[in-house]
């Protein structure tokens, strides 16, 4: 996978610290707090990789948000100002499959600009055998 997106989106080299907090808040709604914390710990340890925007959305079973969605529009303004977007955080659960823990708006923006754009992300997998 390439290091650069095929869109005009400039990506930060690594995840913004507050995105891990956002991921934990989201994951704590899907799982218990301990499991959410373990997944975020794995996300923090994971290396940044790259996947196509369309593949991320398809694997996670999500439709891309529209360009007029407030979060997508905010990210569009961010890149128009020349700022970088933070990589996306994805978790994989053995029962539920992959899900975007943080960055759904960013993946949607990338998709709307170019469905085949590469998106930087960290991926962490839940190991239910050890977590139960």
Q: Write the pLDDT tens digit of every residue in 6-56.
A: 447 999 999 999 999 999 999 999 999 999 999 999 999 999 999 999 999
Q: What is the pLDDT of residue 99?
A: 95
Percent of the chain with pLDDT over 70: 90
Q: Are strands 88-93 and 118-125 parallel, antiparallel or unpaired?
A: parallel
Q: Give kind and range of the element (H or E) at residue 52.
A: strand 49-52
Given a cut of 70, is residue 5 above it in pLDDT? no
Q: Is 8 exposed, middle or buried (0-12, 13-18, 19+ CB in 10 A)?
A: exposed
Average pLDDT of span 68-97: 93
Distances (CA, A) of 13 to 70, 80, 121: 25, 18, 10
Residue 85 CA to chain centroid, in angstroms?
11
pTM over 0.75: yes
Q: What is the pLDDT of residue 96?
A: 77
Q: What is the pLDDT of residue 25?
A: 98
| pLDDT band, residue 128 (cuts 50/70/90) | low
Task: List Cβ neighbours of 21 (8 Å cut-off, separation of 6 or more).
Answer: none
Q: Are strands 97-102 and 88-93 parallel, antiparallel or unpaired?
A: antiparallel
Residue spans per domain, the chain: 17-123
Q: Write the pLDDT tens digit of every residue in 89-122.
A: 999 987 778 999 999 999 999 999 999 999 999 9
């Amino acid at each position: 996978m390439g290091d650069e997106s095929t869109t005009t989106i400039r990506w930060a080299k690594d995840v913004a610290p507050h995105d891990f907090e956002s991921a934990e808040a989201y994951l704590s709604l899907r799982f218990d707090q301990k499991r959410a914390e373990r997944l975020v710990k794995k996300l923090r340890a994971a290396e940044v990789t790259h996947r196509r925007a369309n593949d991320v959305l398809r694997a996670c079973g999500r439709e891309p948000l529209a360009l007029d969605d407030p979060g997508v529009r905010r990210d569009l303004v961010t890149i128009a100002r020349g700022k970088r977007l933070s990589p996306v955080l994805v978790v994989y659960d053995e029962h539920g499959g992959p899900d975007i823990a943080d960055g759904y708006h960013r993946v949607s923006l990338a998709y709307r600009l170019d469905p085949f754009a590469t998106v930087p992300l960290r991926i962490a997998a839940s190991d239910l055998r050890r977590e139960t």
